[in-house]
């Protein structure tokens, strides 16, 4: 039988497994032929490792490998040095990325040297990717893939080259000697695995643990190189754990403390570099601490030393209020309570594994999360919520500290009237789930006991559903249970905060934020501790929901993705107004309006982060692509970094307006001065308004009637406060207001129209204004807002376009022929003047008679309608509160790009207020 020795630590610290190759048929060889030998002045066991060197080829598939470690040698002499415990010790844990290169190992050494604590315990992981490389060695050997040899050579070279970079002299020679010795032994072990085709878990743990051994030796050597006495610790000599499952162990604190005292009596030092991740069982078999084992090591050792604090060094500045990859406005939390960190880590936040927190909680040892690559960042402190620890001045009134999500889940709903009041039903359900090894992440049950709903990982839901169908086959057949339903494609969103407990309104605020983002909640759970509220959402809604609730609780900028349709006169003016006001809105009102797309009829400009509005015209020419409304909407609404989307339609296009209903259903808000939707077919209007009322998706159209004047909002205010509208009468066209305000004296009508056209008050074809159709649309909008169910055709219109000219070939032809008909309006003006009156073109809604009209009327010169100047609009509301003699008057500019764009802008800001911005 061939044999060899394997040393798994430095020449001064020898500890190795006793490995045997066994034939199958469940035979185990008792006894290990192990002996212990003293090494210099320090004692550690060396095991002789025996392997059967010859195998019959036909038996190789039956071989297994087992590993064990001998008991540490007991020193019978009295212990002279006792480990000093308490605040004198600071614990630092450095992950694989922190020691991933020779330069980073030097940086870590500098951090250790700069700590002025009396005692420093450093827990170190394997170099970056080394643990994966070690597992890969095992997998290759078990698969009889001979490339494990070259893979092992890569492990050797990674550590050799690192050592050459940072060590020199005897330290370098000693490390390289030990490294080659370990690699030689590993090669023999992997060869045995290759032959047997299998390795036990303990053997795998032993092999994988070498990464930590090497990094600890390298780091301790660098610290010593700087003139500081430093010992390195193989924590398998000290840390004893009891495996409780394949992925969990429980520390044996009593035995670990005994072994720590023995270790320290022989290795007194104020600076200790210890291996993370690895430990031993009570039988001295190598094992690991499983998931996030290095953090767990640091917490356990911190508890054993009763340290003042444990610092976990990583590559982020601390714990964020939400995943910064999903919420760009996420902030670093200065403090977290143990319970908050526990809850957030359970729900997927990259904080700490929940078990890491348990050891330090016992002794009130704070954990600091810091960034090794940004030493200026103070990090996040995890501790008990005392007055000096639990303060977060970023927003003192925020009762929710953070948000976390878990994706790729499915809901299972077991439902039936036969469940109510029947003991053992829930037990039977979860026994079936346990039998298939599935993990239940969340449970929700109403007090009616009619159904039990729970979330499991999507990859496990099929097995769970089949197990439940089998377990309850008889109950389903008999009708006591109605169904076992699976709802796939779900995600969990959890809000966490210790101050949530007993604070009214937290859940209401959470659900309100989700509702305003048009997100449906599928299931809800809240523990009696009230530290977290958990909701289940559609997977595609999860990121949007996360951003919506984070924004609501943290008063981060209310960010709205905007798509501008129609960069014509009004649209371009709006874009310029947005450009000029953007900085003020962000700084003073926490509103971030990002224009993600601009489209005209031919060209569209798209951006993933927001168009630079200072040069949008240039960008549209340089980067514009062919317009495609469907692609445009998908781009603007599909940006998952922004929870809210608004489409601003600055056209007068009925085709664009026909999409409003569909956009609102998708959760896209709509703001527009386009009158076509609200003045179109009545049934479509009613559907649009019903949809608006039923959802939290908003549809604002103030600028459809009076440009920037508050006409729609005034009307709604009257109705909502219980007033009754009797009559609405007004001059609704700025163009026609200008024309009749200037149609005085001996001036001809055609002359004034030409002047208005020259000044830009009219449409390119003045017939569009003089026909009265625009006023007719405004009248029908107000009539419908007042509750009248009228079609546009129900509103008679007196056109100012002479009938013979209605079919003119062009606007120029019309303007040339219009003077031929000046006498008609001149005669009407004369009649009005003779009666002491003036002509005004008005729209009227008579709510009492349930009718409306658009016509040319006369008014006494002291009437408010006769007092207008320029292109002002004026609207009079006669109600039960505001009588005929003193109606409610709204007056102001009712035409022009500036005021119309301003009205649209005002609607956008009102939307932002509804979505959570300060009002």
Residues noted as catalytic:
778
* Bridge pairing between strands 119-124 and 42-43: unpaired
What tokens were used for 146?
């001979």
What tokens were used for 52?
């059967």
Q: Which residues of 524-543 are buried (b: 16+ CB within 10 A; e: fewer)?
A: bbbeeebbbbbbbbbbebbb
Question: Taking a C-beta distance cutoff of 8 angstroms, is the pair 115, 90 a contact?
Answer: yes
Q: What are phi and psi of 662, to 5 degrees?
A: -65, -40
Rg of the chain taking only CA atoms, in angstroms:
39
Strands in 119-124's sheet, in edge-to-edge order, are 231-233, 271-275, 119-124, 89-94, 309-314, 367-371, 380-383, 335-337
Q: Which of 761, 757, 782 is nearest to 842 (CA)?
A: 782
Q: How many CB atoms lie within 10 A of CB 334?
A: 17
Question: Taking a C-beta distance cutoff of 8 angstroms, is the pair 386, 379 a contact?
Answer: no
Q: How many CB atoms lie within 10 A of CB 381?
A: 21
Q: How far apart are CA 809 and CA 814, in angstroms?
A: 8
Q: How many CA atoms lie within 13 A of 254 on its CB side?
A: 2
For 365, 388, 763, the CA distances from 377, given in Å and listed in that order, are 21, 19, 60
Q: Which residue has the tokens 């598939």?
A: 61
What tokens were used for 771?
């026909």
Q: How many CA atoms lie within 13 A of 13 on its CB side?
A: 21
Q: How many CA atoms lie within 13 A of 822 on its CB side?
A: 16
Q: How many CB atoms lie within 10 A of CB 764?
A: 8
Beta strands per DSSP E along 701-818:
725-731
H or E segment to which residue 654 belongs: helix 654-657
Q: How far apart are CA 33 and CA 49, in angstroms?
A: 8
Q: How far apart are CA 378 and CA 46, in angstroms?
A: 45
Q: How far apart are CA 625 and CA 600, in angstroms?
A: 11
Q: Which residue has the tokens 């297994």?
A: 64
Q: Which residue has the tokens 């060899």?
A: 4
Q: How many CB atoms lie within 10 A of CB 796?
A: 12
Q: Which of 215, 214, 222 is nearest to 113 (CA)?
A: 222
* Bridge pairing between strands 231-233 and 271-275: parallel
Question: Taking a C-beta distance cutoff of 8 angstroms, is the pair 90, 307 a contact?
Answer: yes
Q: ∠ CA 194-195-201 to the nearest 5 degrees?
A: 60
Question: Taking a C-beta distance cutoff of 8 angstroms, is the pair 775, 841 a contact?
Answer: yes
What tokens were used for 305?
């030393």
Q: How far apart are CA 590 and CA 128, in angstroms?
A: 41
Question: Taking a C-beta distance cutoff of 8 angstroms, is the pair 731, 840 a contact?
Answer: yes
């Amino acid at each position: 039988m061939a044999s060899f020795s394997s040393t798994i630590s430095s020449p001064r610290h020898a500890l190795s497994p006793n490995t045997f190759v066994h034939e199958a048929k469940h035979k185990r060889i008792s006894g290990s032929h192990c002996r212990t030998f003293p090494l210099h002045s320090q004692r550690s066991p060396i095991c002789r490792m025996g392997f059967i060197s010859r195998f019959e080829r036909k038996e190789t598939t039956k071989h297994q490998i087992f590993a064990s470690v001998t008991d540490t040698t007991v020193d019978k002499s009295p212990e002279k040095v006792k480990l000093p415990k308490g605040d004198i010790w600071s614990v630092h844990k450095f992950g694989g990325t922190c020691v991933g290169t020779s330069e980073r190992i030097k940086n870590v050494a500098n951090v250790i040297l700069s700590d002025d604590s009396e005692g420093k315990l450093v827990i170190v992981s394997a170099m970056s990717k080394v643990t994966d490389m070690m597992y890969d060695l095992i997998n290759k050997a078990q698969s009889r893939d001979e490339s494990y040899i070259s893979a092992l050579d890569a492990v050797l070279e990674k550590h050799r080259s690192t050592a050459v970079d940072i060590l020199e002299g005897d330290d370098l020679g000693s490390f390289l000697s030990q490294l080659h010795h370990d690699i030689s032994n590993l090669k023999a072990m992997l060869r045995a695995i290759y032959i047997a085709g299998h390795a036990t878990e303990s053997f795998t743990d032993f092999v994988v643990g070498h990464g930590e051994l090497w990094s600890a030796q390298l780091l301790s050597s660098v610290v010593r190189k700087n003139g500081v006495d430093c010992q390195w610790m193989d924590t398998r000599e000290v840390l004893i754990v009891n495996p409780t499952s394949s992925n969990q162990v429980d520390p044996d604190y009593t035995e670990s403390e005994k072994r720590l005292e023995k270790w320290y009596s022989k290795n007194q030092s104020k600076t200790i570099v210890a291996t993370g991740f690895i430990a031993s069982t009570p039988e001295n078999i190598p094992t690991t601490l499983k998931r996030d084992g290095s953090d767990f090591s640091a917490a356990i050792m911190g508890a054993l030393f009763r340290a003042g604090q444990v610092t976990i060094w990583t590559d982020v500045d601390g714990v964020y209020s939400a995943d910064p990859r999903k919420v760009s406005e996420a902030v670093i939390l200065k403090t977290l309570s143990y319970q908050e960190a526990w809850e957030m880590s359970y729900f997927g936040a990259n904080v700490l594994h929940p078990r890491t927190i348990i050891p330090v909680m016992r002794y009130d040892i704070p954990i600091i999360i810091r960034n090794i690559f940004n030493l200026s960042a103070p990090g996040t402190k995890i501790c008990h919520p005392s007055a000096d620890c639990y303060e977060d001045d970023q927003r003192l009134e925020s009762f929710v500290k953070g948000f976390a999500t878990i994706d790729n889940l499915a809901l299972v709903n077991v439902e039936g009237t036969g469940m109510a009041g029947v003991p053992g039903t829930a037990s039977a359900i979860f026994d079936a789930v346990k039998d298939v090894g599935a993990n239940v992440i969340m449970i929700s049950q109403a007090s009616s006991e009619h159904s039990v709903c729970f979330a499991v990982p999507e990859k496990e839901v099929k097995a769970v559903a089949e197990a439940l169908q089998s377990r309850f086959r008889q109950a389903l057949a008999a009708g006591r249970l109605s169904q076992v339903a699976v709802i796939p494609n779900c995600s969990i969103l959890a809000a966490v905060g210790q101050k949530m407990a007993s604070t009214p309104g937290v859940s209401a605020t959470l659900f309100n934020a989700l509702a305003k983002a048009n997100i449906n909640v599928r299931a809800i759970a809240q523990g009696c501790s009230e530290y977290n509220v958990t909701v289940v959402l559609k997977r595609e809604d999860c990121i949007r929901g996360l951003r919506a609730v984070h924004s609501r609780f943290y008063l981060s900028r209310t960010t709205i993705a905007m798509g501008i349709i129609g960069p014509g006169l009004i649209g371009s003016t709006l874009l310029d107004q947005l450009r000029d006001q953007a900085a003020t809105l962000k700084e003073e009102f926490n509103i971030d309006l990002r224009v993600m797309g601009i489209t005209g009829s031919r060209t569209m400009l798209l951006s993933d982060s927001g168009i630079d509005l200072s040069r949008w015209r240039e960008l549209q020419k340089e980067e514009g692509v062919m317009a495609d409304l469907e692609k445009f909407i998908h781009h603007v609404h599909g940006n998952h970094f922004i929870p809210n989307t608004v489409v601003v339609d600055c056209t007068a296009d009925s085709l664009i307006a026909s999409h409003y209903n569909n956009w609102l259903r998708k959760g896209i808000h709509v703001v527009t001065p386009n009158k076509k939707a609200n003045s179109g077919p009545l049934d479509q209007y009613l559907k649009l308004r019903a949809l608006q009322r039923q959802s939290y998706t908003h549809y604002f159209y103030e600028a459809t009637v009076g440009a920037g004047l508050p006409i729609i909002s005034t009307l709604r205010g009257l109705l909502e406060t219980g007033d009754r509208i009797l009559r609405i009468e007004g001059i609704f066209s700025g163009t026609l207001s200008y024309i009749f305000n200037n149609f005085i004296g001996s001036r001809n009508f055609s002359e004034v129209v030409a002047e208005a056209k020259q000044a830009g008050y009219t449409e390119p074809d003045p017939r569009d204004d003089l026909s009265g159709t625009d006023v007719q649309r405004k009248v029908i909008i107000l009539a419908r807002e007042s509750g009248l169910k009228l079609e546009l055709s129900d509103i008679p219109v007196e056109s100012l376009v002479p009938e013979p000219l209605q079919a003119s070939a062009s606007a120029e032809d019309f303007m040339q022929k219009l003077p031929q008909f000046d006498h008609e309006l001149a005669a009407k003006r004369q009649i009005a003047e003779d009666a002491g009156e003036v002509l005004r073109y008005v729209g009227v809604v008579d709510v009492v008679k349930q009718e409306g009209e658009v016509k040319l009327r006369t008014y006494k010169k002291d009437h408010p309608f006769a007092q207008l100047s320029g292109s002002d609009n004026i609207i009079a509301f006669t109600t039960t509160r505001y009588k005929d003699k003193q109606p409610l008057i709204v007056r102001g500019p009712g035409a022009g790009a500036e005021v119309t764009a301003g009205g649209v802008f005002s609607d956008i800001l009102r939307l932002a207020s509804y979505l959570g911005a300060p009002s």
